[in-house]
Amino acid sequence: MTDGNYPQHSDITDDMWTKVDEIITANRDVPGSVIGVLRECQDVVGYLPVELIDYISDGLNLSSSEVFGVASFYSLFSFEPKGRHLIKVCMGTACYVKGIQEAVNRIENKYNLKEGATTEDRRFSLEAVRCLGACGLAPVVVVDRDTYGGVTAEKVIETIDKYE
Protein backbone atom coordinates (compact mmCIF):
# COMPACT_ATOMS: atom_id res chain seq x y z
CA MET A 1 0.00 0.00 0.00
CA THR A 2 1.31 3.48 0.67
CA ASP A 3 3.72 2.98 3.60
CA GLY A 4 1.99 5.69 5.58
CA ASN A 5 1.99 8.23 2.75
CA TYR A 6 -1.70 8.69 2.64
CA PRO A 7 -3.56 11.06 0.33
CA GLN A 8 -4.33 14.38 1.96
CA HIS A 9 -7.93 14.96 2.90
CA SER A 10 -9.20 17.23 5.65
CA ASP A 11 -11.88 14.75 6.74
CA ILE A 12 -9.66 11.67 6.82
CA THR A 13 -7.11 11.28 9.61
CA ASP A 14 -4.13 8.93 9.44
CA ASP A 15 -5.93 6.63 11.87
CA MET A 16 -8.82 6.45 9.46
CA TRP A 17 -6.48 5.69 6.55
CA THR A 18 -4.92 2.90 8.61
CA LYS A 19 -8.35 1.37 9.20
CA VAL A 20 -9.18 1.74 5.51
CA ASP A 21 -5.96 -0.13 4.72
CA GLU A 22 -6.96 -2.94 7.07
CA ILE A 23 -10.37 -3.22 5.44
CA ILE A 24 -8.85 -3.32 1.94
CA THR A 25 -6.20 -5.85 2.94
CA ALA A 26 -8.79 -8.14 4.52
CA ASN A 27 -10.92 -8.08 1.37
CA ARG A 28 -8.46 -7.74 -1.47
CA ASP A 29 -8.72 -11.33 -2.64
CA VAL A 30 -12.38 -11.77 -1.88
CA PRO A 31 -14.47 -11.68 -5.06
CA GLY A 32 -17.42 -9.29 -4.99
CA SER A 33 -16.22 -7.59 -1.83
CA VAL A 34 -16.46 -4.03 -3.14
CA ILE A 35 -19.84 -3.18 -1.58
CA GLY A 36 -18.73 -4.47 1.82
CA VAL A 37 -15.47 -2.54 1.57
CA LEU A 38 -17.29 0.66 0.61
CA ARG A 39 -19.68 0.24 3.49
CA GLU A 40 -16.99 -0.40 6.06
CA CYS A 41 -14.89 2.50 4.79
CA GLN A 42 -17.91 4.79 4.87
CA ASP A 43 -18.49 3.74 8.49
CA VAL A 44 -14.92 4.79 9.26
CA VAL A 45 -14.92 8.14 7.45
CA GLY A 46 -18.62 9.04 7.50
CA TYR A 47 -18.96 9.35 3.74
CA LEU A 48 -17.08 8.53 0.54
CA PRO A 49 -14.94 11.42 -0.73
CA VAL A 50 -13.44 11.01 -4.23
CA GLU A 51 -9.95 10.51 -2.76
CA LEU A 52 -11.23 7.60 -0.72
CA ILE A 53 -12.94 5.99 -3.69
CA ASP A 54 -9.71 6.31 -5.68
CA TYR A 55 -7.75 4.75 -2.84
CA ILE A 56 -10.17 1.85 -2.47
CA SER A 57 -10.12 1.29 -6.24
CA ASP A 58 -6.31 1.10 -6.26
CA GLY A 59 -6.34 -1.24 -3.29
CA LEU A 60 -8.85 -3.60 -4.86
CA ASN A 61 -7.29 -3.37 -8.31
CA LEU A 62 -10.43 -1.98 -9.85
CA SER A 63 -10.94 1.17 -11.87
CA SER A 64 -12.28 4.23 -10.05
CA SER A 65 -15.20 4.43 -12.44
CA GLU A 66 -16.14 0.84 -11.66
CA VAL A 67 -16.12 1.47 -7.93
CA PHE A 68 -17.86 4.81 -8.30
CA GLY A 69 -20.51 3.11 -10.45
CA VAL A 70 -21.21 0.55 -7.73
CA ALA A 71 -21.30 3.20 -5.01
CA SER A 72 -23.69 5.47 -6.89
CA PHE A 73 -26.08 2.59 -7.50
CA TYR A 74 -26.86 2.17 -3.80
CA SER A 75 -28.57 4.90 -1.81
CA LEU A 76 -26.77 3.85 1.37
CA PHE A 77 -23.59 5.45 0.07
CA SER A 78 -23.03 9.16 0.40
CA PHE A 79 -20.51 11.29 -1.47
CA GLU A 80 -21.14 14.28 0.76
CA PRO A 81 -20.32 14.69 4.44
CA LYS A 82 -23.24 13.98 6.76
CA GLY A 83 -24.28 15.89 9.85
CA ARG A 84 -23.70 14.59 13.38
CA HIS A 85 -27.45 14.13 13.63
CA LEU A 86 -29.82 12.90 10.97
CA ILE A 87 -33.30 14.41 10.97
CA LYS A 88 -35.82 12.35 9.05
CA VAL A 89 -39.12 14.02 8.32
CA CYS A 90 -41.98 11.84 7.18
CA MET A 91 -43.67 13.12 4.04
CA GLY A 92 -46.10 10.19 3.84
CA THR A 93 -49.79 10.91 3.42
CA ALA A 94 -50.83 10.79 7.09
CA CYS A 95 -47.99 13.08 8.15
CA TYR A 96 -48.54 15.41 5.22
CA VAL A 97 -52.24 15.78 5.99
CA LYS A 98 -51.42 16.56 9.62
CA GLY A 99 -49.10 19.40 8.66
CA ILE A 100 -45.54 18.07 8.54
CA GLN A 101 -44.69 20.57 5.80
CA GLU A 102 -44.98 23.48 8.21
CA ALA A 103 -42.58 21.80 10.62
CA VAL A 104 -40.18 21.16 7.75
CA ASN A 105 -40.34 24.83 6.77
CA ARG A 106 -39.40 25.81 10.31
CA ILE A 107 -36.46 23.43 10.33
CA GLU A 108 -35.24 24.70 6.96
CA ASN A 109 -35.48 28.32 8.05
CA LYS A 110 -33.99 27.90 11.48
CA TYR A 111 -30.93 25.93 10.39
CA ASN A 112 -30.65 27.20 6.83
CA LEU A 113 -30.96 23.59 5.80
CA LYS A 114 -32.53 22.17 2.66
CA GLU A 115 -33.95 18.72 2.30
CA GLY A 116 -31.21 16.26 1.36
CA ALA A 117 -28.49 18.62 2.59
CA THR A 118 -26.28 19.14 5.64
CA THR A 119 -25.73 22.28 7.70
CA GLU A 120 -22.41 24.03 7.21
CA ASP A 121 -21.33 23.19 10.75
CA ARG A 122 -22.28 19.55 10.07
CA ARG A 123 -24.65 19.50 12.98
CA PHE A 124 -27.68 18.25 11.05
CA SER A 125 -28.58 16.46 7.85
CA LEU A 126 -32.20 16.59 6.72
CA GLU A 127 -33.85 13.77 4.88
CA ALA A 128 -37.45 13.46 3.70
CA VAL A 129 -38.76 9.91 3.82
CA ARG A 130 -41.94 8.07 2.90
CA CYS A 131 -44.13 6.61 5.63
CA LEU A 132 -42.10 5.66 8.70
CA GLY A 133 -44.74 3.14 9.73
CA ALA A 134 -45.94 5.18 12.68
CA CYS A 135 -48.92 6.92 11.06
CA GLY A 136 -50.89 6.81 14.33
CA LEU A 137 -48.33 9.30 15.67
CA ALA A 138 -48.43 11.61 12.65
CA PRO A 139 -46.82 13.94 11.97
CA VAL A 140 -43.57 12.13 12.71
CA VAL A 141 -39.96 13.28 12.88
CA VAL A 142 -37.06 10.97 13.72
CA VAL A 143 -33.77 12.35 15.00
CA ASP A 144 -31.03 9.72 14.97
CA ARG A 145 -32.84 6.84 16.74
CA ASP A 146 -35.46 8.90 18.55
CA THR A 147 -39.00 9.07 17.18
CA TYR A 148 -41.18 12.09 17.84
CA GLY A 149 -44.90 11.98 17.11
CA GLY A 150 -47.50 14.73 17.07
CA VAL A 151 -44.84 17.17 15.94
CA THR A 152 -45.99 20.76 15.60
CA ALA A 153 -44.32 23.63 13.82
CA GLU A 154 -44.25 25.47 17.17
CA LYS A 155 -42.44 22.71 19.06
CA VAL A 156 -40.23 21.11 16.43
CA ILE A 157 -37.24 23.43 16.91
CA GLU A 158 -37.35 22.92 20.68
CA THR A 159 -37.14 19.17 20.08
CA ILE A 160 -34.35 19.29 17.54
CA ASP A 161 -32.28 21.91 19.31
CA LYS A 162 -31.47 19.41 22.07
CA TYR A 163 -29.16 17.63 19.67
CA GLU A 164 -25.76 19.26 19.71
How far apart CA 125 and CA 85 sit, in angstroms, is 6
Q: Is 45 in the site for ligand FES (CB under 6 A)?
A: no
Query: In the complex, what is the shortest distance from the CB of residue 106 to ligand FES, in angstroms, rounded to a whole number?
Result: 17
Return the number of the residue (134 or 157) whose C-beta is nearest ligand FES: 134
Q: Is 83 in the site for ligand FES (CB under 6 A)?
A: no
Return the number of the residue (70 or 135) whose C-beta is nearest ligand FES: 135
Stretch that binds ligand FES, among 47-55, 62-70, 120-128, 132-140 (CB under 6 A): 132-140
Stretch that binds ligand FES, among 4-12, 36-44, 56-64, 126-134 (CB under 6 A): 126-134
Q: Which member of 35, 134, 153, 157 binds ligand FES (CB under 6 A)?
A: 134
Return the number of the residue (24 or 142) whose C-beta is nearest ligand FES: 142
Stretch that binds ligand FES, among 27-35, 56-64, 134-142, 153-161 (CB under 6 A): 134-142
30 CB neighbour count, 10 Å cutoff: 11
Q: Is 93 in the site for ligand FES (CB under 6 A)?
A: yes
Q: Is 128 in the site for ligand FES (CB under 6 A)?
A: no
Nearest to 85 by CA among 136, 143, 44: 143
Q: Is 90 in the site for ligand FES (CB under 6 A)?
A: yes
Residues 18, 58, 1, CA angle at the centre, nearest 5°?
40
How far apart CA 75 and CA 116 sit, in angstroms, is 12
Contact criterion met (CB below 8 Å) for 59 and 24: yes
- Tell me the DSSP string of 47-69: S--HHHHHHHHHHHT--HHHHHH
Residues 73, 78, 83, CA angle at the centre, nearest 5°?
155
